Amino acid sequence: MSFTGWGVAAIMIVVASWVFYHYFAPQRWREWAGAGLVQAFIIALYAEMYGFPLTVYLLARTFGLDREYVGSNLWSTLFQLGGTAMLASMLIGYALVVIGVGFFIHGWREVYRARKQNRLVTGGLYRFVRHPQYTGLFIALFGEGIVHWPTAFSVGLFPLIVIAYYFLARKEEREMIRQFGNDYRDYCNRVPMFFPRWGQWRRMAQASQQR
């Protein structure tokens, strides 16, 4: 693999990591634990995307897949569809990334304003889920690391990331209950944690486009 490919991989890792840490800014050890998994996810993803396609190479060697497709992503290799599967997974994956990034940036802005005013935020994206930032993170990572360019590491790390942020969200909710009491308990009873109720995805996506 050329030095250019590894250079692009390094740039993408730095850019993706900067965006992540800019909006999530881990402080406590639980936050750092989740952030460490996301960082490993980012490094493994772009190292294989622009560096060396280790997952595809190992699968091709193990299962005797057609070497013609080793340079493509995992889906095009498994289904032997070449550029068709590659293009479809790229478009769908990037669409999910855009949606996810929109969710967690908009959610971050809402909670940032609420903290400055020391109030409970229940409007905007928080009408649909209690943790829209984490919802956006999951969608973006799923789109990039599962749909667009799945690797053994990204597929393996994704459920661990979800579990880590689930426990982090529960801890944050206990703190919110201590601060806001029954108001937050009532909010939790009305609104799902990460994923909106059936039929509300479109409304949530529209809300993420509002300022």
CA distance 9 to 46: 5
* Residue 43 and residue 37 in contact, taking contact as beta carbons nearer than 8 Å: no
How big is the CA angle at 193 (ends 126 and 171), to the nearest 5 degrees? 105
**pLDDT value, residue 132:** 92
The CATH number of the structural domain formed by 3-207 is 1.20.120
**pLDDT value, residue 39:** 78
- Please name the residues in contact with 127: beta carbons below 8 A apart, sequence gap of 6 or more: 191, 207
Q: What is the pLDDT along the chain (211 residues), one digit of tens a residue?
A: 444 555 666 777 777 777 777 666 666 666 666 777 787 777 777 776 665 555 655 665 565 555 554 555 677 666 666 667 778 888 999 999 999 988 988 888 888 888 787 888 888 899 999 999 999 999 999 998 888 888 778 888 899 999 999 999 999 999 999 999 999 999 999 999 999 998 888 888 888 776 6
**pLDDT value, residue 188:** 94
CA distance 154 to 43: 9
**pLDDT value, residue 2:** 45
Choose among 87, 62, 61, 94: nearest CA to 73: 87
**pLDDT value, residue 92:** 92
**pLDDT value, residue 59:** 63
> Can you give the pTM of this predicted structure?
0.78
**pLDDT value, residue 56:** 58
CA distance 96 to 141: 9
Q: 108: which 2 tokens?
A: 């971050």
CA distance 193 to 62: 40
